[in-house]
Chains A and B, each alone.
Chain A
């Protein structure tokens, strides 16, 4: 091979190396063609082989990375399944615990279901973050879980309680807070569980917190809890009509309820009440179950709700 031919091959190889360095691999096969010993001059073959080895190294690493990515995606899918089943287990436990305590002093879980739905609506109206909404839902579900520690003779006593018995009933918020603190997934229900009997003017229990000192979720829940107690049937009373219940509650705005939250609640009370007041226990359960899965679904697939 003449010097001119060799120079031409050298220039060709140099050009391709420049192309490859800029990401253009269309002539990459030529590099490997030029590694053929006996056909091309040794200085060209050696250069082409070095460069060819570099290309293969990069391609091998790329192929390795692609494989790792596939493996990672497979593992991720498996993890997602595990995480979903854990979530379902947690939600199931929340529902079961809530129902267990509801059955303690009531025939049905309907009150528990309804207060959750009211609380979700009101929380959304207030623009709570998804995290806060989830805490609110857990708190609503478990608000009276501490009643499990109150004896039947006091909890189920017909007629009024004396002062001493009332003091014992009041401890249910402390018991409740203690119970849920033991499990991290439930511990954010604490604000509602501990403070849902606080009053806006500071006359509530257990700590006599006032106004903004009372956690927002507890102020939201207190309204929903009282509203449902008034508008639903109890062993000792028929349901009060909506407008009567709202008027009765209005009298306690500023003393019991947060004025701003109450105004927002009243705006939508009729619509929400109409939607759910007549639903049976099992209908409520299904509705709430669907809402829960919506709110507790993994955030990467769900995104923040507006």
Chain B
């Protein structure tokens, strides 16, 4: 196995010297017209981080409004717009773009390719997604500026019919929502096709599918899932627009349409969507946990099988969002079973990460801290998920703050924590600078404390009967104290995010030089310079195992002996 060709160590950089200094407009146009997967990845991530701040401010306004009973910090009309835009933004303009951004940046590097399979489709997809997001936010200033906030969508991110029909939403709120998401959905579909083509056909010599790093594997599964799930949403949104403008009656209950059909359409998208967001987070954890435990991933094959398994099972669980709509008993029972089954591959993953740590030498760097917190939080999120899957208990818990706490445990406790881990882990590769570890630890601990203050206590008012989407509540219900604690936690999280932003800025300006391989890691992206040149690899890499860099660093005990 001597044909390993990795320019590790003095990673080969053959980029020609830049002749002159760029002007600002040259720099700008370079970012506008780029088809480089790395630049597009950074564009995706920056775009998503901007919207994360916007949706974060919306969340803070929601928390201030709910801090005490009978509060009137915002009007009910504005409150409805805030929670609708918060949810829609976090899912469509933060979660998916940031994860596809990481995929864009990392997948070609990890599989030893020079770019994505379709670089121009890649750029087109990004700009579609970006336009969708800007269109959605234009709704705040578009229209008549009703109640001072334009015609921003106000019917919940799930947009249940018939509230979205002309009779109940006469303005343009559902139009902005539907059209913006259809457009950004096309962008997402383009990227998904691109990632599938890239991982299937662009892997370097020696990298069989079963040697592909887990993050790339997960992105392959996610992209397949995206193709299946975005389409019903787009279809339903087009049907909604036909209802609203072309005299259709799909969801128009006053003309015999069906409200329940919208729920099926929405949730057959909406539930797999959760996995579209969480599987890349699993991928991130599967890269970071081994490196900082100094041990290869435990049960690679089982991890791949569990991921594919989760992908399939997740397509058959959507009606657990509908246990209260009066489904027949056998249907309800079926969806209880399919939902509980998700727990098995998910459990396997947690056990495998645990076994990876077991017997290792854990390095508590910031990326690892975020991943370890993820493990605990995801365990809890999974267990509250089991509680919700038991339909009779769900009849109580459904649409209560318990559910809100549960899915924020998944979306923040698992996904956002792993996104931060990924940023700390791959920032040195993308910029050549390390993020400050001291500030990173401040960020971690503040965010951890804030997260638990907010979302641990959020389960309690749910159990005490507090429903979702209410702009205020009566003092006699006993929900006030818990909501007040949650609001404090939200501000602690906000401070942590400010620390993070400061860290990014200060590290970009005067961070420590990263070098090619600051974490002593094992996958191919660490075999190129930081930041990688436009062509990624000067020579095409050839690999013999799942951890090509381990093989190079440990010629006495290479992985390919055991595969």
Do chains A and B interact in one complex?
no
Which A residues fall within an 8 A CB radius of B?
none
Which B residues fall within an 8 A CB radius of A?
none
